[in-house]
Structure 1
Amino acid sequence: MAGKVRWPLRAAVVAVVATAAFAGWSGVTWYRTAHSEAVTYGTARDEALASGRELVARLCTLDYHRLDQGLAEWLDASTGPLRDRLAHTDEATKKTLTQGATVSTGKVLDAGLSELDEHAGTAKLLASVEITALKEGVAPSTKRNRFAAGLTRTESGWKLSALDELPVGAR
């Protein structure tokens, strides 16, 4: 009778050990996959692309009614040489922007990263942007531009370090 009781007990112990081994293997596999270089690189790429799209749109948007706020948003979106250049917007330029009485809104139609150095915290973005300019008494005008943007990861996230308009091509 003792042999009959041990068999189910042995089977239960084997089942528990096998289940624990499978759970441990599954957990290790999941952890390795979730923290693999390919996954972290993909996450960095997605973050840089999403931030770059938003930042390029922000730097293509300006409302003359809220010029100081708009320029402050430009400074918040930028770093490095681009930020230095934007920080030196003189009063004559501000006056010209206000007298133009234009509200410009940028919308990124498409964008993609051409480079990403996750370790250095830099990326390059190409973007196609539609800019709509509204001026009182004049029909809205829309133009499409292409930009090359440099991105730098800072303590507060990705920022634009360069923004250059690309020629559309000769006609």
Structure 2
Amino acid sequence: MTDPGADTVEQRTCTTKSGWRFAVTAIALSVLVVAIIGLTVAATLMQFHMRATDSDTDRDAEVVATARRMVTDLTTLNQGGVDGSIKRILDETTGSFRDQFSHQADSFRQVVAKGGVDSTAQVTEAGLVDADDDHAQVLVASTSTVKNTDAPNGQQRLYRMKVSLQHVGATWLISDVEFVS
């Protein structure tokens, strides 16, 4: 004879086993879904970071190249082309630095012409100090050979400058130049 309670115990054991299997499967699927979402978020954030880094690298290279060119323009002069030099400097500057240079342009022209100044410059080093999308600072080392009435054979000069730049429209312009030692 069979025990009437045996079926109930067997059914409970099967139900308990199926319940555990279901619970374990549900937990495993939940963990898997959370892991997939986490990996997707991490991959997306890494992609945005890489794009931002590439953009910053491009911007930084442009800033340093601009500072190099502008320091060369500031320190390369000749008496015959002083008006072109003044125009170029005014075109490459902004803010109070531009205003100050603009007010002193006539005196600058006279000094270059009267002194027979001929200066050829070359940037030897340039390095980024700080930059964001609107402002930047670059340290620039430059050498120039300056010929004038006092030194007709030329005199070697070394310049170290901290150049501040401002992003205006699509162009980086000098907003300040500070000679540093």
Per the TM superposition, whether the score is higher than 0.5 is yes
Partner residue, 1:23: none
* Paired position in structure 2 for 1:164: 178
2:154 equivalent to 1:146? no
Q: Which has the larger radius of gyration?
A: 2
Residues 86, 105 of structure 2: 8 Å contact kept: no
Equivalent in the alignment of 2:83: 68
Q: Give me the CA root mean square deviation.
A: 2.2
**Aligned mates of 1:70, 1:93 — CA distance in 2:** 10
- 1:138 aligned counterpart, secondary structure: coil
For residue 117 of structure 1, report the CA deviation from its aligned partner.
Answer: 1.4
SS of residue matched to 1:46: helix
Distance 1:72 1:156 in 2: 19
Q: Verify: 1:58 aligned to 2:73, yes or no.
A: yes
Query: Residues 143, 57 of structure 1: CA spacing in aligned structure 2 closer, same or farther, 3 A cutoff?
Result: same
Equivalent pairs: percent with the same residue? 23
* Structure 1 gaps, min length 5: 1-28
Aligned residues: 136
2:60 corresponding residue in structure 1 = 45
Distance 1:52 1:94 in 2: 23
Query: Alignment partner of 1:73: what SS?
Result: helix
Counterpart CA distance in 2 for 1:41 and 1:91 is 39
> Amino acid of the residue matched to residue 132 of structure 1?
T
- Separation in 1 of the partners of 2:110 and 2:139? 31
1:90 deviates by 5.1
Distance verdict in 2 for CA 1:109–1:99, change over 3 Å: same
> What SS is found at the alignment partner of 2:153?
strand
**How many angstroms apart in 2 are the aligned matches of 1:97 and 1:153?**
30
Instruction: Report the Cα distance in structure 2 between the residues aligned to 1:89 and 1:115, rounded to whole angstroms.
Output: 29
In structure 2, the residue corresponding to 1:36 is in which secondary structure? Answer: helix
